[in-house]
Chains A and B, each alone.
Chain A
């Protein structure tokens, strides 16, 4: 079966621009998680979807970040407007049920100049 995929693999944008990251979970996985690592820091949880519903978005840094999962399939994470401190690697993970193992995508490396 196909794994978690993320697009794009890299994105370089200017401060103030908008960027949208996409995550396609493993087929049939209702749970979708977003995580982020900024340089030199540990990977941090951002939010959790069950199907199309946000279950926990306590890790979202601020209101410049908007995550959606319309239809309960793929998810997007939009950053608008991007700031320098948003640079990092954004990972998506999915699991079939909450208590299952989370499988990760390759990540999107975001650079804000």
Chain B
């Protein structure tokens, strides 16, 4: 069963920041939060991950609440090419398998 919940869809204007929320209230202390996206019918693309500290890379920023029960993915300047389904995932178990939800379909509008 999915360990995360996300809104099914969101809209964002091109050039603005896209803030995608995720709830993971049952996450365990050693489980990472990963974000992937899937553009059309391509394979999932890794975006960013974190444990308890905020993280930033060239694609996005990840803000994790202090209690680790939720997080937000931030795309600072969304473009049309960022239109995709975004998945917030908990990496669990000794084998670090990814437990997926249904994701958020982000539409970036011109």
Give A95's nearest chain B residue, CB to CB.
B96
Contact call A105/B95, Cβ cutoff below 8 A? no
Give A50's nearest chain B residue, CB to CB.
B95
**Interface assignment of B68: CB less than 8 Å from any CB of chain A:** no
| Chain B residues within an 8 Å CB radius of A14 | none
> Nearest chain B CB to A111's CB is how many angstroms away?
13
- Which stretch of A39-47, A60-68, A69-77, A79-87 is in the interface? A39-47
Contact call B98/A98, Cβ cutoff below 8 A? no
Contact call A104/B45, Cβ cutoff below 8 A? yes
> Nearest chain A CB to B80's CB is how many angstroms away?
21
CB contacts between A and B, total, < 8 Å: 57
> Nearest chain A CB to B96's CB is how many angstroms away?
5
**Interface assignment of B27: CB less than 8 Å from any CB of chain A:** no
Number of interface residues of B (CB under 8 A): 22
Give A42's nearest chain B residue, CB to CB.
B100
> Nearest chain A CB to B93's CB is how many angstroms away?
7
> Nearest chain A CB to B98's CB is how many angstroms away?
6
Which of B43, B96, B97, B99 contacts A105 (CB under 8 A)? B43
> Nearest chain B CB to A51's CB is how many angstroms away?
13
Contact call A45/B97, Cβ cutoff below 8 A? yes
> Nearest chain A CB to B64's CB is how many angstroms away?
17
Contact call A43/B97, Cβ cutoff below 8 A? no
Question: Which 8 A-B pairs have CB atoms at the shortest separation, nearest pair first?
Answer: A104-B43, A43-B100, A45-B97, A106-B43, A48-B95, A104-B44, A42-B100, A56-B95
A-contacting residues of B (Cβ < 8 Å)?
A: 2, 34, 36, 41-46, 49, 87, 93-103
**Given A35-B98, A56-B97, A98-B95: 9 more A-B contacts, CB < 8 Å:** A31-B96, A42-B101, A42-B103, A43-B100, A93-B98, A98-B94, A101-B49, A102-B96, A105-B43
